[in-house]
Amino acid sequence: MWPTKKWDPRGQFCYVTGGSSGLGLAVAKALTNMGAHVTIVARNEERLTKALAELEELRQNPNQVICSYSYSLTDADSSNAALEVASKDHGGKYPDAVFMCAGAATPGFFVEEDANSMRKGMDNSYWVQAYTALAYTKAIVRDRTSGKLVFISSLLGYMSMLGYSTYSPGKYALRGLAETLRSELILYDCTVHIMFPGNIDTPGYAEENRTKPKVALEVDSSDKPTAPDVLATQLIHGVQRGDFHISPDILSNIFRSSTIGATPHHNVLLDGLYAVVGWIGLPLWRQGVDSKVLKHRNEHDEYLAAKGFFKTVL
Amino acid sequence: MWPTKKWDPRGQFCYVTGGSSGLGLAVAKALTNMGAHVTIVARNEERLTKALAELEELRQNPNQVICSYSYSLTDADSSNAALEVASKDHGGKYPDAVFMCAGAATPGFFVEEDANSMRKGMDNSYWVQAYTALAYTKAIVRDRTSGKLVFISSLLGYMSMLGYSTYSPGKYALRGLAETLRSELILYDCTVHIMFPGNIDTPGYAEENRTKPKVALEVDSSDKPTAPDVLATQLIHGVQRGDFHISPDILSNIFRSSTIGATPHHNVLLDGLYAVVGWIGLPLWRQGVDSKVLKHRNEHDEYLAAKGFFKTVL
């Protein structure tokens, strides 16, 4: 069911969404460096061209097929089309692994969201990966071939706090989808992996901080952003080991073990240690965040009043 | 932040979605019986009329305002409209508590889903509650009044298995939303609650079993459906105690404690006991399910072949 031999990306067809920047680009570079055939898909053509040039520089041999395509992945038809086009470069063979790194967060206060921003948040956190997973799974099952689904969730798929009402639900939903598929794809030859990284040092993270509520920024400052290439290495190692949940650092391991439920363990003893640390530490951490939020009440009330939010401004 | 005095529904305006059948109707009946003003919202007018008559029979005093409205709650505008109309019966005052019991599951195999069924699954598991939560939260914050958000997730918001790719992601997403709001609504006077029930003995559950894959049915048979009125009582007691996660039985408590992360504990000692039971028991349970799925491979392959799913039928 799970591979016992370490997976080797060399000569494998790897499909990386969000591959033009941030974590996706770092994953594409690491895979290229390991001798894989790499296709990146993203929206921005300019960034794709630049990214493709960076990948070409890392080419290990002349046979590596390295391609880029511009598609929107928050649309189902377009997600299908991207996968079909990418497969054509390989004579109709679908990828050996899909790394679903596309995604974005736009934090804000719940009372300032509307149906449109909530939907858009779900598109950019969940559907941007779920549509690709659906298209890919159907394709490889139909072809009776094997595959790997690699999702990128977030620490915000293990816990949440103020500011993330448009993002955390989608990252939790990805966990729900991955948990379902880990079980269901035992019916075929497809392994499922999902990483839960904290903050990543990318242009997307800088963008996200522009709309992030002040208290969330304050809480966030304790989680220093990790370089995308460090996470890319962790991600690929996790897939190589056959890990289902991939937790790239201690914090992520603590949250993984503290929310493990029926999810497979890595190392039952070490995970037990993480779980005990989480059992004691996480409630204290949460109480700290809660009291920061509580202290922010008056300031927040003034903020909403200044924006004309209340029916009667006090 | 959290109420220290036990909440009393008597004379409170309670808004119950999905209130015409199943868990929603049971909650509406229990609240009516406790002397609350109850408004139920659902789609089916015939069922609403019948449900309203049942509620009238339980009326405790002539002053109780008991109403029903037919609205689709998977649509944002319609969810807003339902809440506005319900408030008019109370002179424009918004509900003291919203019980979001609307929802439905349509299990199936992932490779047989399409973008449309996946979207519809998210509508019926997540948006059917999220839109009401958004409309309500904005309304009570704007009115500077207090409130209670009561979500209904599922055991499938704590774990998942084959068959639930259109449902479990939405139930996980509800947990993500509730975790966000528990933190964020500390800024206002609104408490957040979310229940994680197992199978419920309702017409919806019977309907769901019609499309459920055979293996999922087999696994499911170990979780006997609970009567909706038992769960309704548990739900209301949980809200009265001020519980954030409401776990109505031992299995739900085991999953809650085993996936607790930074979520507030109920009783740290008892929860610890549940967590230890889960740490040992849940992996064994999962392995049992996994091996059932694995054994089902050939039968499933024949099933797909018979449906003409493969490009080349073997």
pLDDT of residue B4: 62
pLDDT at B311: 65
Contact A192, A184 (CB under 8 A): no
Q: Does A297 touch chain B (CB under 8 A)?
A: yes
| Residue B196 to residue B157: CA distance in whole angstroms | 7
CA distance A239 to chain B (A): 20
**Would you place residue A2 in the very low, low, confident or very high pLDDT band (cuts 50, 70, 90)?**
low
Q: Is the pLDDT of residue B2 over 80?
A: no
Selected residue with higher pLDDT from B259 and A203: B259
pLDDT averaged over chain A?
95
pLDDT digits (tens, 9 = 90+) for A213-240: 888 888 888 888 999 999 999 999 999 9
CA B253 to chain centre: 16
Average pLDDT of span B247-257 = 97
Report the residue from A168, A177, A263 with minimal CB separation from B176: A168
Whether residue B177 and residue A165 make contact (CB cut-off 8 A), yes or no, is yes
**Is residue B85 less than 8 Å (CB to CB) from chain A?**
no
**Per-residue pLDDT tens for A50-77?**
999 999 999 999 999 999 999 999 999 9
Q: How far is CA A62 from the centre of its chain?
A: 31
pLDDT band at A207 (very low <50, low <70, confident <90, very high): confident
CA atoms of A246 and A4, how far apart (whole Å): 17
Q: Is the pLDDT of residue B84 over 60?
A: yes
Residue B227 CB: number of other CB atoms within 10 A? 13
DSSP state of A110: G
Q: B285 at the A interface (CB within 8 A)?
A: yes
Residue B41 has pLDDT above 90, yes or no: yes
Q: For chain B, what is the mean pLDDT?
A: 95
Contacts made by residues B213-221, CB under 8 angstroms, sequence distance 24+: B213/B107, B213/B108, B213/B109, B213/B162, B213/B163, B214/B296, B214/B299, B215/B162, B215/B163, B215/B292, B215/B293, B215/B296, B215/B300, B216/B107, B216/B161, B216/B162, B216/B163, B216/B164, B218/B292, B219/B161, B219/B289, B219/B292
Average pLDDT of the residues in B233-240: 98
Single out the residue of A180, A97, A184 nearest to residue A145, CA to CA: A97
Q: Report H helices in chain A.
A: 22-33, 45-58, 76-88, 115-122, 128-142, 168-184, 203-211, 214-220, 228-241, 250-258, 268-295, 297-306
pTM for the full model? 0.97
Give the chain A residue nearest B157 (alpha carbons). Answer: A176
Q: Chain B partners of A286 at a C-beta cutoff of 8 Å?
A: 262, 264
* CA dihedral of residues A16, B180, A114, B114 (deg, nearest 10): 40
pLDDT, tens only, A147-192: 999 999 999 999 999 999 999 999 999 999 999 999 999 999 999 9
- Are A259 and B259 a contacting pair at CB < 8 A? yes
Tens of pLDDT along A277-295?
999 999 999 999 999 999 9
Q: If you average pLDDT over residues A257-266, what whole number do you get?
A: 97
Name the nearest CA neighbour of B198 among B221, B224, B175, B177. B224
A4: confidence class by pLDDT, cuts 50, 70, 90: low
* B136 conformational bin, left if phi > 0, alpha if psi -120 to 50, beta if neither: alpha
**Least CB-CB distance to A111: which of B114, B137, B262?**
B137
Touching check for A49 and chain B: CB below 8 Å?
A: no
- In this predicted structure, the answer to whether residue A97 has a pLDDT above a threshold of 60 is yes
Chain A CB contacts of B283 under 8 Å are 262, 264-265
CB B192 within 8 A of CB B179: no
pLDDT value, residue A127: 98
Rounded to the nearest angstrom, the minimum Cα separation between A138 and chain B is 5
How large is the average pLDDT for residues A98-115?
A: 96
User: In 3D, which of B154, B119, B303 has the Cα closest to residue B215?
Assistant: B303
Torsion of Cα atoms, A28 then A29 then A32 then A33, to 10°: -150
Say yes or no to pLDDT of B313 above 50.
no
Q: How confident is the model at residue A5 (pLDDT cuts 50, 70, 90)?
A: confident
Block residue for tokens 């390991």: A34
**Chain B residues with CB inside 8 Å of A304's CB?**
141
User: To the nearest whole percent, how much of chain B has pLDDT over 70?
Assistant: 97
Question: pLDDT, tens digit, for every residue of A12-43?
Answer: 999 999 999 999 999 999 999 999 999 999 99
